[in-house]
Structure 1
Amino acid sequence: MTEDSPHTDRRTFLEGVGAVGVAAAAIPGVSAATPGRTPGAKPNEALVGVTNTVDDAEEHVAQFVPDQARVVHSNETIGYVAVRFPEEAPDRAHEHFLDAIEKREGIKYAERNATHTTSLSPDDPRFGDQYAPQMVNAPAAWETTLGSSSVSVAVVDQGIQYDHPDLAANVSDADSYHGDDFADDDEDPYPDVPQDEYHGTHVGGIAAAATDNGSGVAGVSESSLLSGRALSEDGTGSTSDISDAIVWATDQGADVVNMSLGGGGYTETMKNAVSYAYDNGVLVVCAAGNAGKNSVDYPAAYSECVAVSALDPDGTFASYSNYGDDIELTAPGTNVLSTTTETRGSYERLSGTSMATPVVSGVAGLALARWDLSNAEVRAHLKETAVDVGLSEDEQGSGRVDADGAVSTDPSGDGSGDGTTEHISATVSDSLDGYWDEDCWSWAWQYDDPSKVVVDLSGPSDADFDLYVDEGEGSCPTTDDYDYRGYTADSQETVTITEPDTSTNLHVMVTPFSGSGEYDLTITEYQ
């Protein structure tokens, strides 16, 4: 869409100011994987995003699949189908398929199934050997709350050894196996080879090992642990397995999803998975990555995710940690003592942004046990109560996460403790006639320095509408040039921007990928 596009409808979006709440929803549905679909990386698979106007996603995609390939899996909730090619198939066969199928009706995107990897005074006898809980002032927070089993932290990672003596008391009883296994497509996420598969157990222990139980180490919080096994014994996992685990954790009611993993770059499938989680109230906390570069790995780089960098035991920035504009918080990550599989000795020290991430998840668990907060509110609260440790903003974000501050500071700021935040909101209703149509809306900022803005689109159930947003540009976005996008398989889209650029009006475009009908667009600006 250009400045003089005949279909552009520019309007100022200021009428109808009032309180409003919009929640996106979807019908869960993950198909069983084809028997023999191996755990871990799946470099010979493609993921095809399908619009919700297609009746049978697998059947629709299958008609465009070449003879040597086959449909092996689908996820109806976030709208993708997995297509497997033979291992001997050359790259050009994959690329030809991706290019060709994207041109077919009902197909939103096509991409490789990218590979992600691990980003590695209570009476607990080894508490004195720990430093991470002390660095984030957890002992002071524990004077108020140890956390609550009603708060659930899902660890999307390798499997957790859920019968570990220091974890068994805190694993969730919402599922018979305390989680699910997406890497092997069975119900039991227990590590297959405990000597090699220990990362998830270590991450889970940092967030929620039992505290003050006379055994081992102390976790940051007493939250319930859910294990979403999406990485194999070698620490690798496919985009599809990780995305399925995120959707599953969301549908299980997780309050926090911890992903101490990264790599694979931007993918529409993973973006849709974290959007589904965030839109349904989940705080998604992710490792920034361990390459020591000025660039945060995905999934941490998605706007829905809290990107976490790592500190050394002396509080300095860890040399291996990624950094950049996307960093929101930092936490101790080097030589962190936590639980490991009993085969490996039950406890060990590991280093990485993988270890810093569950520190933040654990503090989030403490805050949620103390205050009634939405995912957006607890995200803001953790940042507002973080401690400036003298690092640059692209290294520490808002600062080092602080458990005592998160628990003792009233997030409402008025003593009520209800976590409310001043905001102003408006909703506009309109309609689109077909794929050629589009509306562009302009929002004039109401606050001098807003903390965030949330853009919600609610469109017809029998169509597929998408949302494009630009900040600080002074003109409408296009489908090829935009800052943020809501691009799921249906017409329920949400874009959240923290600390938005207010130098120009916010510009929002609504356009149909397919179908037509009426929609509601809601913009909420927070002080």
Structure 2
Amino acid sequence: MRLAAAAGLTGMAGVTSATPGRSPGPKKNEVLIGVTNTADSPQKAVQDAVPANAEVVHENKTLNYAAVKFPSSAPKRARKNFIKAVTKRDDVKYAEKNATYEALYTANDPKYGNQYAPKQVNADTAWDTTLGSSSVTIAVVDQGVKYDHPDLSSRFGSNKGKDFVDNDGDPYPDLLSDEYHGTHVAGIAAGTTDNNTGVGGISNSSLLSGRALSENGSGSTSDIADAIEWAADQGADVINLSLGGGGYSSTMKSAVSYATQNGSLVVAAAGNDSSGSISYPAAYSECLAVSALDPDETLASYSNYGSKLDLAAPGTNVLSCWTTSQKYNEISGTSMATPVVAGVAGLTLSVHDLSPADLRVHLKNTAVDVGLSSSKQGSGRVDAANAVTTDPGDGGGGGGGGGSKETTYNGRLSSSSDSSCSSYSWNYSSPSQVVVDLSGPSNADFDLYANEGRGTCPTTSNYDYRSWTYDSNEQIIIDNPDTSTDLSVMVDSYSGSGAYTVTITEKE
């Protein structure tokens, strides 16, 4: 190793109430502006730059962004001109459209009595050890969940969740005939097992519902990001995102970074476009990206795949809870594969105390190779029995001896024009993961960058990984890093000065 210079509505303080009249669901006429934490507040930082025909309609003081709404009659160039102008301000880190994300599922004819998914991931074997624990919480950020469903009611406590679409405290679906996606997802992850009723979910974890998609199955970046932050603040161990399609978003990236750093594993759907690239938010390095398999364990025809894929799980014709009188139904999609992984994560946490980074490694190390390329199955098909019964210290699934090496170094940046780059020599020839953590001053905004396999320092415009949130606490997670050259790590001051600490944890 070498380092060289070169509960109810509690926990909601960071999310303000939406301005009365702000439309639910997609918000295509809004622009999201992320500001540094050295600004007084997101709204104050942008207020005097807002055109006369627009208004600040929302701010999130935890994720440090504000939403500016333009009238529907305003030409697109008005929003583009505003984005161009406001990003020139020193305390503004980005401006972007409030993109729309969709639920990722494909409807099928009903097929009852064929609940193959838990068996395919060997959940029934894992259940010999544990059915899961109510002390583990899975948050479903999706459509609302029918929390009084007979297979779900015992999985919810007094805090059912929050509705970010209609801005109220009840995440129950608005229109049961149309809003079934969140209920189906929740049932896969944690429908009550061994209760002589209906289906068995993967785990008997507790559930929280963050309603961020409308009855039409779509929702805005801001609603989803707020729901992710809220779920993390509620103490969710796992956050399920069976949604995608909005493209890269700095606001969403901040939300999944916040959740990961605050103890939540974020599991996300790879996408349903049959594309060779993973959709966002699954493509963020913080998220565990999941592809969908058919019952014969081939890649489903609709599933996205690509180099950023982490795991595969059954997603076609998955039987789960439904919102209408039929109570159960089968549908398909990476939306269905994702809660299978979330449920296995919940089972795992009921027997192993793991951080999000360690849980991520453990699920990948204990996955089963089903004969597909890594771009189609990632590390393999998730396996509940292996994840529950394998000691994380054993490495599992061919993952080595389970050791880790931690190195810490300190530095100081003097101004917003200052940065510092260091190189790190590997302890292991083929580490499963490296985690780089930055802790900097609270009154500054420092960012973290990394390059692997290049042997050159990153810059703010040329890098392999970046953690670029609103404060000086940043984290980069790299699975199966390239060890052919030293890892290069740069700390950059976006604003402010002070001392910082970088911790690099390499896992065998």
- Structure 1 counterpart of 2:198: 216
> What residue is the counterpart of 1:411 in the other structure?
392
The CA deviation at 1:480 is 0.6
**What are the Cα deviations for residues 60-109 of structure 1, in whole angstroms up to 9, with x where unaligned?**
21110000110000111111000000011111011000011000121011
Residue 16 of structure 2 corresponds to 31
Match of 1:13 in 2: 3
Q: Is the 8 A contact 1:12 1:441 kept in 2?
A: no
Q: What pairs with 1:320-469 in structure 2 (closer than 5 Å)?
A: 320-343=302-325, 345-413=326-394, 421-469=402-450
**Kindly, what percent of the aligned residue pairs are identical?**
61
Which residue number in structure 1 is paired with residue 230 of structure 2? 248
- 2:244 aligned with 1:262: yes
Aligned letter for 1:498? D
1:103-122 alignment, distance < 5 Å: 103-120=88-105
- Residues 195 and 108 of structure 1: CA distance in aligned 2, closer, same or farther (over 3 Å): same
Indicate yes or no: 2:38 matched with 1:53.
yes
Deviations 1:449-475 (A, max 9, x none): 111111111111111111111111111
SS of the equivalent of 1:129 reads: coil
Separation (CA, whole Å) in 2 of partners of 1:334 and 1:165: 24
CA RMSD of aligned residues (A): 1.9
Out of 185, 201, 205, which is 1:203 matched to?
A: 185
Match status 1:70 vs 2:51: no
The answer on whether the counterparts of 2:112 and 2:319 sit within 8 Å (CA) in structure 1 is: no
**Match of 2:8?**
none
Q: 2:164 aligns with which of 168, 175, 182?
A: 182
Q: What is the match of residue 460 of structure 2?
A: 479
What is the alpha-carbon distance in structure 1 between the residues aligned to residue 139 and residue 368 of structure 2? 26
Deviation at 1:373, TM superposition (A): 1.3
Q: Unaligned stretches of 5+ in structure 1?
A: 1-10, 16-25, 121-125
Q: Is the 8 A contact 1:45 1:85 kept in 2?
A: yes
Which consecutive aligned stretches of 4+ in structure 1 deviate over 6 angstroms post-superposition?
A: none
Contact 2:235 2:263 (8 Å CA) reproduced: no
Q: Label 1:256 to 1:414 Cα distance change in 2 as closer, same or farther (>3 A).
A: closer
- Displacement of 1:272 in angstroms is 0.4
* Structure 2 residue 221 is matched with structure 1 residue 236: no
Question: 1:160 aligned to 117, 127, 145, which one?
Answer: 145
Instruction: Give 1:172's aligned residue.
Output: 157
TM-score, with structure 1 as normaliser = 0.91
Give the letter for the 1:338 counterpart.
S
Q: Which runs of no fewer than 5 residues in structure 2 stay unpaired?
A: 6-10, 106-110
Q: Distance in 1 between matches of 2:12 and 2:92?
A: 20
* Counterparts of 1:155 and 1:490, CA distance in 2: 27
Q: Deviation at 1:12?
A: 5.2
Q: CA deviation at 1:136?
A: 0.8
Q: Distance in 2 between matches of 1:301 and 1:408?
A: 29
Between the aligned partners of 1:509 and 1:140, the Cα distance in structure 2 is 45
Partner Cα separation in structure 2 for residue 425 and residue 27 of structure 1: 34
Instruction: Name which of 74, 80, 85 aligns with 1:95.
Output: 80
Which stretch shows the higher mean deviation, 404-413 or 71-80?
A: 404-413
- Corresponding residue pairs, total: 495
Q: Is the 8 A contact 1:149 1:222 kept in 2?
A: yes
Cα deviation, residue 414, structure 1: 8.9
| Aligned residues of 1:127 and 1:216 also touching (Cα < 8 A) | no
C-alpha displacement at 1:342, in angstroms?
A: 2.8
Contact 2:434 2:479 in 1 (8 A): yes
1:219-257 Cα offsets, whole Å, 9 max, x none, are 010000100000001000101000000000000000000
Q: Which residue identity lines up with residue 344 of structure 2 in the other structure?
A: V
Q: Distance in 2 between matches of 1:201 and 1:233?
A: 12
Residue number in structure 1 paired with 2:505: 524
